[in-house]
């Protein structure tokens, strides 16, 4: 299994719940390393650019509004099978369908306020990491 990088965002609802540390502990217990991290309050332009793939979807405006409603914690995770592993830790997009013990089951309120983001494939992971981090801000070890 290849060592991969994936982009993770702790969304405004989970930052407001003060569970950044608990979420980081789950990444680390699963063998994922945090190799870059930054807190930011995204502008509308940043959120629209990040979610550009969804811009024709009916939920796009709500998604951008939510992602700009408060600070987010953005990180690059590295490890074996990191993209799939992170999405397994997150659980289903809709917290009502998320398995017990996943982040969305434990911390999310709704499909909009769903606690976390994770890249869904190697190509999108590379694009999303580069969207938020310059090469010299990433510290693999
Ligand atoms: P994410 O990109 O945030 O990691 O979530 P995901 O892959 O599980 O879901 P995706 O299909 O990429 O959708 C991005 C975010 O848009 C919101 N959404 N709302 N109302 C709806 O039907 C709907 N569908 C998606 C969710 O907040 C989702 O995380
Ligand atoms: Mg997605």
CB of 94 closer than 8 Å to CB of 44: no
What is this structure's pTM? 0.97
Which tens digit of pLDDT belongs to each residue from 74-106?
999 999 999 999 999 999 999 999 999 999 999
Q: Catalytic site residues?
A: 117
Confidence at residue 5, expressed as pLDDT on a 0 to 100 scale? 98
* Banded model confidence at residue 123, pLDDT cuts 50, 70, 90: very high
Residues 6+ apart with CB under 8 A from 127: none
Region 52-77 average pLDDT: 98
State yes or no: 68 annotated in a binding site: no
Q: What is the ipTM of this complex?
A: 0.94
| Percent of the chain residues topping a pLDDT of 90 | 99
Ligand 1 geometric centre to CA of 141 (Å): 31
Query: Which of 52, 72, 89, 93 is the best mutation target for the ligand 1 pocket, counting ligand atoms within 8 Å of the beta carbon and taking the most?
Result: 93
């Amino acid at each position: 299994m290849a060592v991969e990088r994936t982009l993770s965002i702790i969304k405004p609802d989970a930052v407001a719940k003060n569970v950044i540390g608990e979420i980081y502990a789950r990444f680390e217990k699963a063998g994922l390393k945090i190799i870059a991290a930054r807190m930011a309050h995204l502008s509308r332009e940043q959120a629209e650019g990040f979610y550009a793939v969804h811009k024709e979807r009916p939920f796009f405006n709500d998604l951008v509004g939510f992602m700009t409603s408060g600070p987010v914690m953005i990180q690059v995770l590295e490890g074996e099978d990191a993209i799939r592993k992170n999405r397994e830790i997150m659980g289903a997009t809709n917290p009502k369908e998320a398995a017990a013990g996943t982040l969305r089951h434990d911390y999310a309120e709704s499909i909009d306020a769903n606690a976390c983001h994770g890249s869904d494939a190697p190509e999108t992971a590379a694009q999303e990491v580069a969207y938020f981090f310059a090469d010299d801000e990433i510290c693999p070890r």
